[in-house]
Structure 1
Amino acid sequence: MNNINLQLYSFGFECNLSLLDKIKCAGEMGYAGVEFARGYEELPVEQVKKALDDAGVKAVSAHVALDFMEQDLPYLAKLGVKFVACPMAPFNTAEEAKELAEDLNKFGQMAKQYGITIGYHNHTGEFYQDQGKYLMDYLIENTDPETVAFEIDCGWASAAGINPVEYINQHAGRIAGIHIKENGGVIGADKPQSRHEAPNHPKFELDEDGKPIIPPEFKKMMEEREKLNVPQGSGIVDWKAVKAAADAQREGVIYVVEREASYGGKGRIDCLKEDIAWLKENL
């Protein structure tokens, strides 16, 4: 497998590289393309295009929240992006899934003029059930297959207890992208928030230096989740079967490495180098 792309979010929040430097680094590591997580807002499109050309990588896709979708589509089209996915959105019932589907359909029609397909990327909460059915199923079933497709994050799906291969087969034709996120265990589906309630972000007290004081139980939970990000090829996902299923159901499926955390005390870039090396050798 050679056509492997990198979600730029994978560099992590502690990375000091600029967006242009991340593009260059992705090319140096051997990635064929990148998936943006915004960060280009203040940059002229010509500058980003030059960085892509210089690095020898393509702009294959992007993650854009619904609030920024309309304003970002023209910019991303100029970069050559063909798939723009909402990275996450709150919804916790069948009805709310249908409401979100309406939003995706609206942006799908809007993106059509740019030759862009709109998508949605899952975490674990999309596999929470309402009326005996996954929320993700309601979302897929109520979106227009002509303009809306999906990016299955196999790491989060398997963490929720879903077999990614079976899920891809169940929704054949609708899966335009695969997030290659290695996962070492099952934690179940998080209960998602309602799209009609204010976001319930955790609030922490600050120490005398103004840094957040992380409660032990929250820190433990985050550490356990980071441990799920094991080295590529050592987790619970059968990547050969995933690729076979994805390629069989739709042409031009994009494969994007996304890493949430490092492992073994290594730096993030070293982990990303090992990720692509394993994929090129084994898929």
Structure 2
Amino acid sequence: MNRRNFIKQSGLAATAAVMPVLPFDWKNKDTSIGLQLYSISPSLSDDFEGNIAKVAELGYTHVESAGYNKKERTLYNRSAREYRKIIRANGLQPISAHVRFSPEEAAPLLDDFATIGVKYVVWPSVHGGFRKSADGYRRAAAQMNTVAAQARERGIRFGYHNHNFEFQAIDGKIPYDILLENTDPELVFFQMDLGWLVKGGFQPQDYFRKHQGRFPLWHIRDVNDDGKSVPVGSGKLDFHSIWSQRELAGYELGMVETQQRKTSPLNDIKQSIHYLKTEIIK
């Protein structure tokens, strides 16, 4: 083994030593489907406990939160412990969380998510100030490396979630490529939003091949020809082809995300998991 490979293998071993064991059977990991709770935010505002129970009834096994209040240190107006209790009481795992924060804000926030039992904390996007230039995206990548190191100290993995704007060239570069190239692959993973990437004019499989193993979490989103988010299976994404490349991606868990609706948002997530369970993840 040469020196370069030895260092790489040693680094991977050190990372594995601090990474948490996820709370479900990895032999059956491909059958587990999570939900990004943003999809049903209107319903959660009306009846949080009742609608979390409905999510479990539909067959989802994990949930991903959105909307952490950094000032109050609450999720859905509940403390970390209260949120965890409700989620777990319904047989769900509070596996991941979307929250945007700076390195200076990281410590108490990560402590709260460690209390909940979150295994993945994800930046949902980079703020507008970073989006003005290629150098701005490089600065964002540097911050990701910093907060990822803080997360790892708490047994949490840190990642980044894309929209479609990361695929619009700036200064001759694709911003998503800048982020991938300037983040430490042993610290920062990428939660690929399949639908937004396709809306941006690219194909997930190409990124899986080029950056193997960097996409353990997916947002399973579908879009129509107009780029609008639709229930999974009713848009233009070729989920059979994407699913066949999951090993290249390093796939561990998929999170359904659908368009947020004011009326009957549960219908979209019901249709989505039915399609996945009957047509893709058999």
TM range (shorter): 0.7 to 0.9
Q: Could you give the per-residue CA deviations for residues 160-192 of structure 1, whole angstroms, max 9, x where no partner exists?
A: 1111221222221211211011111255xxxxx
From 62, 81, 88, the equivalent of 1:46 is 81
What's the counterpart of residue 208 of structure 2? 168
What's the counterpart of residue 77 of structure 1? 114
User: CA RMSD of the aligned region, Å?
Assistant: 2.1
Q: CA deviation at 1:51?
A: 1.3
Q: CA deviation at 1:69?
A: 4.0
Counting helix residues as a fraction of each chain, which structure ranks higher? 2
TM-score, normalized by length of structure 1? 0.78
What's the counterpart of residue 137 of structure 2? 97
Q: CA deviation at 1:19?
A: 4.2
Q: What CA distance in whole angstroms lies between the structure 2 residues aligned with 1:59 and 1:259? A: 19
What's the counterpart of residue 32 of structure 2? 3
What's the counterpart of residue 119 of structure 1? 159
Amino acid at match of 2:83: V
Q: Matches of residues 248-259 of structure 1 in structure 2 within 5 Å?
A: 248-250=248-250, 253-259=252-258
TM-score, normalized by length of structure 2? 0.78
- Three-state SS of the structure 2 residue aligned to 1:175 is coil
What's the counterpart of residue 280 of structure 1? 277
Q: 2:56 aligned with 1:27, yes or no?
A: yes
Conservation of the 8 A alpha-carbon contact between 1:229 and 1:261: no
Q: 2:237 aligned with 1:237, yes or no?
A: yes
- Three-state SS of the structure 2 residue aligned to 1:133 is coil
Q: What CA distance in whole angstroms lies between the structure 2 residues aligned with 1:240 and 1:279? A: 10
From 78, 91, 94, the equivalent of 1:56 is 91
- Three-state SS of the structure 1 residue aligned to 2:183 is coil
Q: 2:186 aligned with 1:146, yes or no?
A: yes
- Three-state SS of the structure 1 residue aligned to 2:273 is helix
Q: 2:168 aligned with 1:128, yes or no?
A: yes
Amino acid at match of 1:135: P
User: Using a 3 Å threshold, how does the CA distance of structure 1 residues 15 and 129 change in structure 2: closer, same or farther?
Assistant: same
What's the counterpart of residue 16 of structure 1? 45
Conservation of the 8 A alpha-carbon contact between 1:2 and 1:32: no
Q: CA deviation at 1:229?
A: 2.4
Q: What CA distance in whole angstroms lies between the structure 1 residues aligned with 2:175 and 2:249? A: 22
Q: CA deviation at 1:137?
A: 0.5
Q: Matches of residues 260-279 of structure 1 in structure 2 within 5 Å?
A: 260-262=259-261, 267-279=264-276
Q: Could you give the per-residue CA deviations for residues 8-42 of structure 1, whole angstroms, max 9, x where no partner exists?
A: 00004465334444432321221010001035444
Q: Could you give the per-residue CA deviations for residues 31-65 of structure 1, whole angstroms, max 9, x where no partner exists?
A: 01000103544423332222122210101111011
Q: Point out the more displaced range, 139-148 or 229-238.
A: 229-238
In structure 1, runs of 5+ residues without a counterpart are 188-227
What's the counterpart of residue 192 of structure 1? none
Q: What CA distance in whole angstroms lies between the structure 1 residues aligned with 2:42 and 2:124? A: 16
Q: Point out the more displaced range, 266-275 or 57-66.
A: 266-275
Q: What CA distance in whole angstroms lies between the structure 2 residues aligned with 1:146 and 1:99? A: 18
User: Using a 3 Å threshold, how does the CA distance of structure 1 residues 185 and 12 change in structure 2: closer, same or farther?
Assistant: farther
Q: 2:180 aligned with 1:181, yes or no?
A: no
Q: CA deviation at 1:134?
A: 0.7
Q: How many residues align?
A: 240
In structure 2, runs of 5+ residues without a counterpart are 1-29, 69-73
User: Using a 3 Å threshold, how does the CA distance of structure 1 residues 14 and 277 change in structure 2: closer, same or farther?
Assistant: closer
